Each structure stands twice: as C-alpha cells, then as structure tokens.
Amino acid sequence: MASAVGLANCQRSPSNSAGTGGSAEPLHIYTWADYADDEVFDRFSQASGIPVEVQTYDSNETMLAKLQAGGGEQFSILYPSDYMVQQMVELGLLTALDHAQIKGLDDLLGPWQSPAYDSNNTHSVPLSWGTTGLIYNTTRLTTPPTDWAYLWEQQNVLTGRMTLLDDLRETLGATLASLGYSYNATDPQQIEAAFERLRQLKPAIAQFSSFGWEDPLIAGDFVICMTYSHLGNALPAEHPNLRYVIPSSGSSLWTDTMVIPKGAPNPEAAYTWLNFMLKPENAAYAVERLRFATPSQSAFALLPTELQESETLFPPESVLANCEGIAPLDPATADLFDRYWTELTSA
C-alpha cells in the first residue's frame, strides 16, 4: 500500500449544515457532507467543550470558489483533496501549520509523512484515503462487473439504470483508464478519445451524480453506480445486496486532508480539532463510522479484524499498483477537460 499512494481527487455531496450548542467560540468546519457525522462532532465537543458548526460542499472546486470569494474568514478547517492542496498553496490560500502545536504526525504511514502533494505536511494533515470504483446491486445483475469496460459492454442492459460521478476528473479519468490511458493524460488525442467513448455511453446514463443514487440502487431502480470507496464500503455493510468493486484496469487513489485557511476564525480550535482527529482512538472511531481508510498506523491497529482485512477498504498492493492519484492539470489541459465536460453534462 505504501508505495502506491500518491496524488488524488475526490468529490462529495450537496451543501447542508449541522452543529452543536455551547458557550465557547465554535469551530467552523467546511467539509464533504459524507464526512459530516454528528457522532464524531459530538465526541469532539464532549472532549474539548468546543461546539462545532458545519457546512458542506459537493466538490473541491466549489470549496475553492467559496474560499476565493472570502470564505477563508468563515471557516477554521477545510477538507481539500490532495491535488487541491497543491492548488490552494500556489494561490496562497492556506496557513502554514505550526507543527509544535500538532501531535501525531509521526504516527502516519510512510506515504503521508511527507506526501508529494504537500512536502513535510507543511499545510495539511491527511485524514483519509481510498479508491473510486463501482457499486452494484447483486440481485439485479447476473454478471458482476470487474472493470470500467463493463459499462460499455453491458450498455443495453444498463440503460437508464446506471449513474456516474458528477466529477470531470474522476469520470473522464475512469474513461481514460478504460482505454488504457492514464487518469492524468495530457495528450489531446487521448482526452478526445475518452470524451467520444463517454459520449457513446451517455444515452445509457441515468444521471451524473455523486450522491442521491443510494436509495434507488438499494431498491433496484439503479443497478450500478460509480462511487468513492467510503460509500462503497459503508452501504454494503448495511445492505448485503450491494457490492463494491475496484476496477481491474485501474482506479484513482485519493487522499482527503484537513487544512487551516488564511484568515481563519478561532485557529486555536482548529489545532484542537487536528489533534483530536490524529488521536488513534478518534481516527479509528471515524473509520468505523465513515468507512474510509486511515493513514494512521496506530488507528489501523485498533480496528476490528474484519475492517483490517477488508480488501475494498484497505486494498492489497496488487490492487493499488494499478491505481494512481489525480494530479493538477496545466491550464490548457484543464480548459480541454472543462470544455468536454460541459458538453457532456449540458447536452
């Protein structure tokens, strides 16, 4: 696992808010909705006396836009994915962390001690990592998927009953992988080939959505959906008719982090939160609640054997060897991705 982890991307669900009461100045968090777990926040508030106020977003790009519009003065903690950390550092939006105020960085697994996206964890603390793949209803599909190509091979069977992520890097990346190319391809011909292949599939796609497909999939109205591994692991735990698959030709490998934006209110509470989430018992609790993989060695040791041995939660090296992180794009390639994505989702 250690040698395979690199850069990555992840996208999440629509914005909402939650919080706890209290007289202390609250900790303002801006995170993915599927990370906004009341039990975790209550555990923090009980331990620290600090109430938590939460807003959520649907993508790294949405979070960045809000931050650039002045949101850095609204939030104490943000949760960018690793490639977005690089972009935010380049834009001068993040606070350099005072490691003297943080305990637990030395307990991180090797790839996260000084990750490629943020040397020496100068601006970010890794929270979680995972893959992107396919989740399907075993009672509706007689032939199980093993790779991205399944979507095209079974297009007639899947028409109107599949969803793909509302995430241009993940969805175009998976299509690139299905053609044998890198998730991070920059060759315009390869990107165009992926666009054309995805356009061929579009009539069969019920919708591009990162969230909201869960109940229809459980009920059997949808039969297969593209998703992130934390949902891919959490849903089957409650609904045995569902199964998550990491495509054999390769998947993205993402890391989500915690950062403090410049101008953040209550930075003292932000450091309290970072230390809370780095404590092994709290990190392990979050894994059990949210089913994402942890970069903490000690937290992993505290997990039940069932979770430690889950090959979809903690994939073996043979699987991770085919995965790659999503790297930032140069401006010209980013514009090309944006143009193709707009055409696909607006037509």
Range in 11-15, 159-163, 266-270 with the lowest mean pLDDT = 11-15
Asked whether residue 110 carries a pLDDT value surpassing 80, the answer given is yes
pLDDT at 43: 97
Homologous superfamily, domain 2-129+254-315: Periplasmic binding protein-like II (3.40.190.10)
pLDDT at 347: 66
Q: Percentage of residues in the chain with pLDDT exceeding 90? A: 82
Q: What angle do CA 298, 300, 305 make, to 5 degrees?
A: 130
Write out the DSSP string of 119-162.
GGGSS-EEEEEEEEEEEEETTT-SS---STTHHHHTHHHHTTSE
Range in 62-76, 93-107, 114-128 with the lowest mean pLDDT = 62-76
**Same fold flag, 2-129+254-315 and 131-252+324-346:** yes
Asked whether residue 87 carries a pLDDT value surpassing 60, the answer given is yes
Please write the tens of the pLDDT for every residue from 135-167: 999 999 989 999 999 999 999 999 999 999 988
pLDDT at 23: 58
Domain ranges of the chain: 2-129+254-315, 131-252+324-346
Third-level CATH fold of 131-252+324-346 = D-Maltodextrin-Binding Protein; domain 2 (3.40.190)
Question: Residue 86, Cβ neighbours under 10 Å: how many?
Answer: 19
pTM for the full predicted model: 0.88
pLDDT at 272: 98
Q: How confident is the model at residue 235 (pLDDT cuts 50, 70, 90)?
A: very high
pLDDT at 58: 79
